[in-house]
Amino acid sequence: MVGRLLLLALLLCGLCVADGDIGTVDKDPPAFSEERAGPPPRTGRFASLTQTIQRQTRQAECDSKWTDIDPNHTMCRKDRGTEVVLDQATKDALLQQHNDLRGRVSPIAGNMPKLVSNDIQAAQLLVWDDELALVAAKWARRCVVKHDNGNARRVPSLPGIHVGQNAAFGYRSFTSAVQAWFNEYKNFKYGTGSKGGVVGHYTQMAAARTHRIGCGQADCPGYKYRRYYICNYAVGQYTSDLVKPYKKATKSCARCPGKCDSTGKLCDCGGKLCLNGGSLDIATCSCTCPDIYSGPTCEKNACKRGLHPPATEPSTNTPTTQSPTNKLGLCVFK
């Protein structure tokens, strides 16, 4: 019976194609409910009123830098578990593991950027982003077997940037969870995508558009799983990345010959991201910006009267199909 339930859980997981699908190694099938066992939830008008009051309370208690992004931002949610603080050695290990695995993709990537630490004393390795890590750790403390939505994990320091997410539960260590995500390459064929199994974790890790990472871990006694691991990625993968997460080549760094790192496998632009819908030329590490933006990272806005509100990302946890500029809003001319 347990085997049948586990098979059913794996099939269900395969349906929730996401920034990275949910993974688990526990023997029991994952419980997708946010809450612990208890009385059934209220329904009807009273339930709607209660939810509205709870949401307004969260917004009143939450910093506006988060609610300006999304009224229900992850940083405004109540903790259920306890954060497992990641020291610098653990952060460096996670960065190194991601970079090592990104350098091993097959077929060879010609435009795979290196992930870099933003600690001034750290070696130039994919960029660790403290705000991405802050939000990832917050979501881990929710102790739920699901993802937050796209808008709810965006960060103020990266305007216009879609943020992806990988999640895992119950693994003995963070590094074993990361390895399990990458091991989905066995289900993947470049140019085709999934051969029948889950690939969303792998393609998020292998996405060439991803330059930054931030991870968090929580301890959740009394919940379905004791350990919760979350990594948030910028830029998050797009639907096309589920088939072609990078540009294949016959030689590593083929598209960035003057920017190759010491391993000879990864393009090194120091973790540079082009904000507000800009695109990065991996060969020169320079940004091409939309008309209303300028600056080295497209950080300067030429709109004197501000922007119309951007389109919101879907609440479902699927890779975005929108280009960055579709979510930035337009200049207000009137």
Q: Does any domain span residue 107?
A: yes
- For residues 149-163, average pLDDT: 94
pLDDT at 104 over 90: no
Which residues are registered as beta bridge partners of 286?
281
Cα–Cα–Cα angle for 52, 319, 270, rounded to 5 degrees: 110
pLDDT at 59 over 90: no
CATH of the domain at 108: 3.40.33.10
Neighbours of 290 (CB within 10 A): 17
Q: Does any domain span residue 292?
A: no
Amino acid at 34: E
Q: Does any domain span residue 99?
A: yes
pLDDT at 3 over 60: no
Q: Does any domain span residue 266?
A: no
Residue 90 pLDDT grade (very low, low, confident, very high; cuts 50, 70, 90) = very high
Question: With pLDDT > 90 as the criterion, what percentage of the chain qualifies?
Answer: 49
- Pairwise CA distance, residues 149 & 171, whole Å: 23
Q: Does any domain span residue 9?
A: yes
Q: Does any domain span residue 283?
A: no
Encoded tokens for 70: 């999304």
Contact 174, 181 (CB under 8 A): no
Structural domain tally of the chain?
A: 1
Higher-confidence residue of 87 and 280: namely 87
Beta-carbon contacts of residue 109 (< 8 Å; ≥ 6 apart): 102, 206, 208, 246, 247, 248, 249, 252
Task: Give me the DSSP letters along 77-125.
Answer: SPP-SEEEPPPHHHHHHHHHHHHHHHTT-SSPBSS-BPP-B--TTS---
What pLDDT sits at residue 262?
80
Most confident of 215-224, 259-268, 298-307, 319-328: 215-224
- What is the domain range of residue 186? 2-29+69-256
Beta-carbon contacts of residue 237 (< 8 Å; ≥ 6 apart): 19, 164, 200, 203, 204, 207, 209, 210, 245, 319
- For residues 43-71, average pLDDT: 70
* Nearest CA among 242, 246, 244, 241 for reference residue 256: 246
Prediction pTM value: 0.73
Q: Does any domain span residue 104?
A: yes
Q: Does any domain span residue 245?
A: yes
* Nearest CA among 209, 212, 204 for reference residue 128: 212
CA distances to 85, 118, 163, 218 from 16, rounded to whole Å, are 29, 32, 17, 23
- For 8, the enclosing helix (H) or strand (E) is helix 2-15
